[in-house]
């Protein structure tokens, strides 16, 4: 029977305690997924759908939006290679949801301990996710140049990153995160759609199922072909 999963909400008052908990288990959970929630899109292309934009055009629009907005929530899920989540010796498993609006208003300088080069990062349509985190970590607006931005992503976020929005079309999967997960028979185990903690959990669980179905045994090396191909910012489709 599946264990109950709880979303640990992080605010100003418990931020340091939660960082310590995360740091305690990082070595045992080398996979991480994240999801961000933000106010919405202010700038868009006046004529073209985003799917028709070049990587440079997509990045330019993303930069304008990220520079103009602040992050509301960030979800984080940690996992081992088998899909197990941290439990801290309790009957529950846990993921995290950081409430950034309060954290940023408090003036805290955030340098999350889970941002390191030993993670394999898993995302779903990660352009804005990485955009907001690079803005926070660098403490400045995003660079004008796409190649400089992708260089910063590599500098901060390890040697492996898999964007499932980019991957799923190769396996006949379509739609958003919820639809893709249902196609893989993965159910949402905690929270609701468009809650950062819940979406980060669904992302990592869907990735583990995709890996099990399509990349087991001798085909495991093929997974690396999708490394660092960020949906909308890559020329490989």
The reported pLDDT for the residue numbered 130 is 93
Q: Checking DSSP bridges between strand 31-37 and strand 160-163, what pairing results, if any?
A: unpaired
Q: Give the dihedral sign, CA 233/235/236/237.
A: positive
Which phi and psi angles does 53 have, rounded to 5°? -80, 150
| Separation CA 176–CA 129 (nearest Å) | 15
The per-residue pLDDT for 108 is: 54
Q: Report the pLDDT value the prediction gives residue 237, as an integer from 0 to 100.
A: 37
Q: Please tell me the predicted confidence (pLDDT) of residue 24.
A: 92
Residue 98 pLDDT > 90, yes or no? yes
Q: What is the dihedral of CA 78, 80, 86, 91, to 10 degrees?
A: 140
Kindly state the tokens that stand for 50.
């985003």
Buried b / exposed e across 183-222, counting CB within 10 Å, b at 16+? bbebebbbbeeebbbbbbbbbbbbbbbbbeeeeeeeeeee
Give 165-209 pLDDT, tens digit per residue.
Answer: 988 888 888 889 999 999 999 999 887 888 899 999 999 999 999
Q: pLDDT per residue over 26-85, tens digit each?
A: 999 999 999 999 988 888 877 767 777 899 999 999 999 999 999 999 999 999 999 999
Which CATH architecture does the domain made up of 5-226 adopt? Answer: 2-Layer Sandwich (3.30)
Average per-residue pLDDT for the chain: 87
Residues 6+ positions from 70 with CB-CB distance below 8 Å: 38, 39, 100, 101, 104
Domain chopping of the chain, boundaries: 5-226
> pLDDT tier at 232 (50, 70, 90 boundaries)?
confident
Q: Whole-angstrom Cα distance, residue 63 to residue 203? A: 24
pLDDT tens-digit map of 112-170: 555 667 789 999 999 999 999 999 888 899 999 999 999 999 888 877 899 999 888 88
Residue in 223, 234, 77 with CA at minimum distance from that of residue 166: 234
* pTM for the full predicted model: 0.89
Distance between terminal CA atoms of the chain? Answer: 39
The SS3 call for residue 173 is: coil
């Amino acid at each position: 029977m599946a264990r109950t999963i709880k979303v640990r909400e992080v605010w100003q008052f418990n931020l340091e305690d939660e960082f310590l908990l995360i740091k305690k288990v990082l070595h045992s959970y080398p996979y991480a997924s994240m999801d961000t929630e933000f106010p919405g899109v202010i700038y868009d292309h006046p004529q073209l759908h985003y799917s028709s934009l070049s990587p440079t055009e997509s990045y330019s629009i993303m930069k304008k939006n990220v520079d103009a907005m602040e992050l509301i929530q960030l979800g984080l899920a940690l996992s081992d290679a088998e899909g197990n989540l941290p439990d801290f010796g309790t009957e529950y498993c846990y993921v995290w949801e950081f409430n950034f609006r309060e954290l940023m208003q408090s003036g805290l300088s955030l340098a999350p301990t889970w941002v390191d080069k030993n993670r394999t990062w898993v995302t779903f349509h990660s352009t804005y996710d990485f955009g907001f985190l690079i803005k926070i970590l660098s403490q400045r607006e995003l660079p004008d140049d796409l190649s400089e931005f992708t260089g910063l992503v590599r500098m901060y976020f390890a040697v492996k990153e898999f964007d499932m929005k980019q991957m799923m079309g190769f396996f006949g999967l379509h739609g958003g995160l919820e639809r893709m997960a249902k196609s893989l028979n993965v159910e949402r185990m905690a929270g609701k759609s468009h809650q950062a903690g819940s979406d980060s959990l669904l992302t990592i669980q869907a990735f583990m199922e995709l890996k099990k179905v399509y990349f087991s045994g001798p085909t495991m090396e093929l997974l690396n072909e999708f490394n660092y191909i960020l949906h909308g910012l890559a020329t490989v489709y």
